[in-house]
Amino acid sequence: MECKVFAVKDIRDNSEIVESMFLLMKKYYENMKKDKFLMDLYDKNDVFLIFESDELKGFSTIKKMELNIENGKDSEKKRIAGFFSGDTIIEKGFSWGIEFQKEWIKYCLLESEKNMKNGVKTYWFLISKGIKTYMYLPTYFKNFCPKAGYTESEMEKKIKDIYAEKIYKSRYCKENGIVKNDGTNDFLRENVVVLSEKQLKNKNIQFFLEKNPNYQKGDELVCLAEISFDNLTNLGKRVLKEISLL
């Protein structure tokens, strides 16, 4: 498996790659419209492409965003940097693998370190369409929201709400942190996700199902995690060691 990172503008005219990306999404998602897919893709900054023997097996898009948020203590606004993850998919039977983990963490941590020098925190803003997407959070981050047994801070709630309202407008429900499907959302095809008994006992999966019971109908759970070395899990730190960032 090989992971390559491209600026979206550099693949925009590569019809073969773009079409392969669309067909991969369409294979696993209902209500997948080409024009909506392209609009979402071209709104992003970069894309991680996963190849096996030069054949596309997965991808994940990302957009850099900045916000100015009132901190509640004074009239000054706090600048926040964020990565918004868009469409993310991997071919059934394949895993993201260590190469993707290396590229993704390197991409995010380098940007976070640069922002931190300017006193700016960096967050990962993730919309979870399904269980696999949500499970990236406990894999790489100690604290994130929403999370079982974790109470999000007032600032985390504010950041999450502002990001979600900026992108999804009235479709976002503050009360439960869900982006409702208004009929335009794509959603996982039936039988794409079949959970084993062991998976059903996983506290993170149980929590996701509780928070987003209608995910199979296209509802999406809004999630947030601070991107910093201190917030990485042991797995995340091991990946960092492999790419010599420590």
Query: 138-151 burial string, b = 16+ CB within 10 Å, else e?
Result: bebbbebbbbeeee
Q: Which of 68-77, 135-144, 149-158 has the lowest mean pLDDT?
A: 68-77
Rounded to whole angstroms, the Cα distance separating 117 from 82 reads: 15
- 230 by Cβ neighbours in 10 Å (0-12 / 13-18 / 19+) ranks as exposed
Residues with Cβ < 8 Å from 233, sequence gap 6 or more? 138, 139, 140, 141, 142
**Where in the chain are the domains?**
2-242
Q: Which of 85-94, 133-142, 169-178, 182-191 has the lowest mean pLDDT?
A: 182-191
**Among 10, 36, 13, 14, CA closest to 25:** 36
Tokens linked to 168: 């999804």
Q: Which residues pair with 47 in a beta bridge?
A: 6, 61
pLDDT at 200: 83
pLDDT greater than 70 at residue 72: no
pLDDT at 188: 78
User: What number of other Cβ atoms are within 10 A of residue 213's Cβ?
Assistant: 11
pLDDT at 199: 84
pTM score over 0.85: yes
The answer to whether the CB of 227 falls within 8 A of the CB of 83 is yes
pLDDT greater than 90 at residue 144: yes
Query: Bigger pLDDT: 74 or 86?
Result: 86
Q: What is the mean pLDDT of residues 49-73?
A: 88
Q: Which element (helix H / strand E) includes 69?
A: strand 55-70
pLDDT at 244: 61
Query: Bigger pLDDT: 66 or 188?
Result: 66
pLDDT at 146: 97
Q: Which CATH superfamily is domain 2-242 in?
A: Gcn5-related N-acetyltransferase (GNAT) (3.40.630.30)
User: What is the chain's alpha carbon radius of gyration, rounded to the nearest angstrom?
Assistant: 18
Quote the percentage of the chain above a pLDDT of 90: 64
CA angle 67, 73, 78 (to 5 degrees): 20
Residues 118-138: tens digit of each pLDDT: 999 999 999 998 888 899 999
pLDDT greater than 70 at residue 75: no
Task: Calculate the average pLDDT of the chain.
Answer: 89
Alpha helices in 29-135 (DSSP H): 34-42, 97-117, 131-134
Q: What is the mean pLDDT of residues 69-79?
A: 72
Query: pLDDT-based confidence at 80, cuts 50/70/90?
Result: very high
Q: In Å, how far from its chain's centre is CA 173?
A: 19
pLDDT at 246: 47
pLDDT greater than 60 at residue 245: no
Q: What is the mean pLDDT of residues 180-184?
A: 89
pLDDT greater than 50 at residue 40: yes
CA angle 29, 33, 39 (to 5 degrees): 115
Q: Which residues pair with 122 in a beta bridge?
A: 81
Rounded to whole angstroms, the Cα distance separating 24 from 38 reads: 13
Q: What is the mean pLDDT of residues 191-219?
A: 87
Residues with Cβ < 8 Å from 35, sequence gap 6 or more? none
Helix axes 34-42, 15-28, angle to 10 degrees: 120
Quote the percentage of the chain above a pLDDT of 70: 93
Q: What is the mean pLDDT of residues 3-11?
A: 95
What's phi and psi for 141, nearest 5 deg? -125, 140
Q: What is the mean pLDDT of residues 172-185?
A: 92
Q: What is the mean pLDDT of residues 28-36?
A: 91
